[in-house]
Structure 1
Amino acid sequence: MRAKLEYFFESLLWNSRLFVILAVVFSLIGSILLFFVASADILKVVLSAIAYYSGSAPEGVDIHEVLLSNVILAVDLYLIAVVLLIFAFGLYELFISKIDVAEESVGSKVLEIHTLDQLKDKLAKVIVMVLIVSFFNRVLHMEMKEPLDMFYFAISILALALGLYFLHKDSHGKH
């Protein structure tokens, strides 16, 4: 009796990992949604540029600011979509099953994840890139009012450069 109860409980515990499928499915849906939204934003930028250069844009519109701002925001959305995609693939491979199609594929192995640490590392790198793109977007709209603002700006760029250096160094030191 005890062996049957233990087996039942262990089976229940083992199969409870399948709840991870909810995170996989909704991360995938979120990723696809972000890819579509970012693509629609890029399409709007293209239409704005066409309108500007054909002379049908409203007066006073600075197309360069519109282009740069909106393209950077779209890149940010694409990167977040990639985070969700990596997260979905990683969770599926770690908790549900290996993806046979990926194993047979000759293409990129960027989505191949074997450990939780690999998943964390890949997510961290993409999240750092999202933060850098967001920082770049904020810098575009920043006004330097005092000399101290320029100092803070320089320090933040130095911090980003150091962060990228250590991230790059870390990824090449793990062979």
Structure 2
Amino acid sequence: MNLLEKLFEGLIWRSRYAVLFAVVASLAAALAIFYIATVDVAYMVGHLLHYADPNLDAEARKAIHDSTVTHVVEVVDGYLLGTVMLIFALGMYELFISDIDEAKGSKASSKILVVENLDDLKQRLAKVIIMILIVTIFEMALKLSVGTTLDLLFLSGAVALIGLALYLTHASDGSDRGGGHPAGPGH
């Protein structure tokens, strides 16, 4: 191998460290989203203290209840989005830079944080994104006023599609791991 080829290949190989910008930015975004969701929880708890006020009428109590349920869904959505960014950062680091030794040796680490290849990262992100979409649809359903039969039909269709998405996600998990039904005499 001549010197120019060796230098060029070394440069190309070391260019993978540019991924560190995405890793650091994704970690920063995850921390920012976790912070925002946590501040939202703190404010929500502060507003909930008024819920037990004996002078509160039923209509005001219902408004606090509905608002709280909506805020809880928004907080879950925020934490899920932060989780997506965290998984993305860890996955990109493991794919392009180095394995995270603490993750592989720790009993406390989750298998979701260990990424073997790009398809593995995409699958893990897709699962969390599906959960974000489910939470978002749930949030929209809470705000939806069902006025006509068509509204109820659309809501039912959305719920059915969510169920189908979860089923297909679960079915693909079984086929990826060699799970599902065992291949016996009848299969």
What's the TM-score, normalizing by structure 1?
0.93
The size of the alignment, in residue pairs, is: 174
Measure the CA separation in 2 of the matches of 1:103 and 1:165.
30
For the Cα contact (< 8 Å) 1:45–1:66, is it kept in 2? no
Measure the CA separation in 2 of the matches of 1:27 and 1:56.
47
In structure 1, list runs of 5 or more residues that go unmatched: none
How many Å apart are 1:154 and its aligned residue? Answer: 1.1
How many Å apart are 1:42 and its aligned residue? Answer: 1.0
Q: Which residue of 2 aligns with 1:163?
A: 165
Measure the CA separation in 2 of the matches of 1:98 and 1:30.
22
Letter in 1 for 2:155: F
Q: Which moved more, 1:114-123 or 1:50-59?
A: 50-59
Summarize the Cα distance change of 1:40–1:99 in structure 2 as closer, same or farther, 3 Å threshold.
Answer: same
Trace 1:69-88 onto structure 2 (pairs within 5 A).
69-88=70-89
Q: Which residue of 1 aligns with 2:17?
A: 18
In structure 2, list runs of 5 or more residues that go unmatched: 178-187
Q: Which residue of 2 aligns with 1:111?
A: 113
How many Å apart are 1:172 and its aligned residue? Answer: 2.1
Letter in 2 for 1:127: I
Q: Deviations over 1:98-136 (max 9, x none)?
A: 111112211222200010000000000000000000000
Measure the CA separation in 1 of the matches of 2:134 and 2:46.
27
Q: Which residue of 2 aligns with 1:29?
A: 28
Q: Which moved more, 1:138-147 or 1:24-33?
A: 138-147
Summarize the Cα distance change of 1:55–1:47 in structure 2 as closer, same or farther, 3 Å threshold.
Answer: farther
Measure the CA separation in 2 of the matches of 1:54 and 1:88.
45
Q: Which residue of 2 aligns with 1:147?
A: 149
How many Å apart are 1:56 and its aligned residue? Answer: 8.3
For the Cα contact (< 8 Å) 1:31–1:80, is it kept in 2? yes
Measure the CA separation in 1 of the matches of 2:25 and 2:43.
27
Summarize the Cα distance change of 1:78–1:159 in structure 2 as closer, same or farther, 3 Å threshold.
Answer: same
Measure the CA separation in 2 of the matches of 1:71 and 1:65.
10
Measure the CA separation in 2 of the matches of 1:115 and 1:4.
32
CA RMSD of aligned residues (A): 1.8
Q: Which moved more, 1:58-67 or 1:105-114?
A: 58-67
Q: Which moved more, 1:145-154 or 1:156-165?
A: 145-154
How many Å apart are 1:3 and its aligned residue? Answer: 1.0
Summarize the Cα distance change of 1:7–1:149 in structure 2 as closer, same or farther, 3 Å threshold.
Answer: same
Query: Runs ≥4 in structure 1, deviation > 3 angstroms?
Result: 54-61
Measure the CA separation in 1 of the matches of 2:30 and 2:53.
35
